Amino acid sequence: MPWQELRITTESTQAERFSDALFDLGALSVSVEDAAAGTDAEKPIFGEPGEPVDQMWENSVVLALFDEDIDTSLIVIAASNTLQLAVPPYDVVRVEEQDWVRLTQSQFNPIPISDRLWITPTWHECPDAGAISIQLDPGLAFGTGSHPTTRLCLKWLDSNLAGGEKLLDYGCGSGILAIAAIKLGAASAAGVDIDPQAMTASRQNAEQNAVEVAFYLPDTEPTDTYDVVIANILTNPLKALAPMLAAKVKPAGRIALSGILAEQADDVIAIYSQWFAMNAPQQEDGWVCLSGIRK
């Protein structure tokens, strides 16, 4: 069965209100994109969870999916009347029925991390039969290897693990870093996350990769110390957690931190320098990975 995708262009300040109104009028799904996406004027927006974003796109496109027999022109008028706004520019695109599973899978290909490390979805073969391959599919938790922060952490592990380390992945998400650590020679790895769905995803991913990793919610985590602690979270949580994370690193042990925008690096370095001799940041696409050795 085909569908209709209604595309409304509006000021970004009104996009969320239109999204809510379209849901109330029977939209099957709604999303919001930068109206300038794919052009030189496209502007990425970054922010910390729970905090307001300083800037927004000038204009947004609200994308709403409807059944094919819905009169979308009446939907736009009804939404505008509800919000007491003028009818915005819009168009409608026919969306044909297709194999959505195959379409989704086609968007995820093997990701090279280094000469010897790849992230490979289960529906692909690793392009290098002799490489270390982490089998990972998109799922409920963050961390597939496609985001710069995850790649930075994986590259750091690949370059810095000598083998035999005891490692903690704090904010483990999908478990990818702990899984990679074991495959790269760590003696043991543990993962901690506040999200129960991350626990489910991490355990499934570890089993899929035939590695043994212990995953915990924060209140069940053992009070251990580690040779390596890695945390791919965001700047504000990393600042707040600094004393706790530092306490988990053994003397002369190492820490690696990511989820940090380049312009935030100096603030994080200043805090962690209380406990660590910090190295120069490693950067990719505006994100950095910071690392240091416990004093």
Summarised one tens digit per residue, pLDDT across range 160-219 is 999 999 999 999 999 999 999 999 999 999 999 999 988 998 999 999 999 999 999 999
| CATH code that applies to domain 148-294 | 3.40.50.150
What pLDDT does residue 39 have?
75
Residue with tokens 């805090």: 271
Q: How remote is the C-alpha of 60 from its chain's centroid? A: 22
Cα 28 to Cα 22: distance, rounded to the nearest angstrom? 9
What pLDDT does residue 43 have?
67
The residue-averaged pLDDT of 81-94 equals 94
Q: Start-end ranges of CATH 3.40.50.150 in the chain?
A: 148-294
Going by C-alpha positions, the residue among 102, 138, 122, 125 that lies closest to residue 208 is: 122
Cα 117 to Cα 130: distance, rounded to the nearest angstrom? 10
Q: Start-end ranges of CATH 3.30.70.120 in the chain?
A: 3-97
Q: Is the dihedral of CA 185, 187, 193, 197 positive or negative?
A: positive
Cα 108 to Cα 120: distance, rounded to the nearest angstrom? 9
Cα 256 to Cα 161: distance, rounded to the nearest angstrom? 12
Summarised one tens digit per residue, pLDDT across range 144-162 is 667 899 999 999 999 999 9
What pLDDT does residue 141 have?
46
Tokens describing residue 201: 């995803």
What pLDDT does residue 56 have?
66
- Please, what is the end-to-end C-alpha distance for the chain in angstroms? 63
Going by C-alpha positions, the residue among 220, 188, 190, 187 that lies closest to residue 203 is: 190
**By CB neighbour count within 10 A (0-12 exposed, 13-18 middle, 19+ buried), where does 241 fall?**
middle
What pLDDT does residue 92 have?
94
Contact between 16 and 32 (Cβ < 8 Å): yes
Cα 262 to Cα 172: distance, rounded to the nearest angstrom? 22
Q: Domain spanning 3-97: which CATH class is it, in words?
A: alpha beta
Summarised one tens digit per residue, pLDDT across range 4-44 is 999 999 988 898 999 999 999 999 999 998 887 777 766 66
3-class state of residue 12 by DSSP: helix
The residue-averaged pLDDT of 245-261 equals 97
**Stated pTM of the model:** 0.69
Rounded to the nearest 5 percent, the helix, strand and coil shares of the chain are 30, 30, 40
What pLDDT does residue 139 have?
57
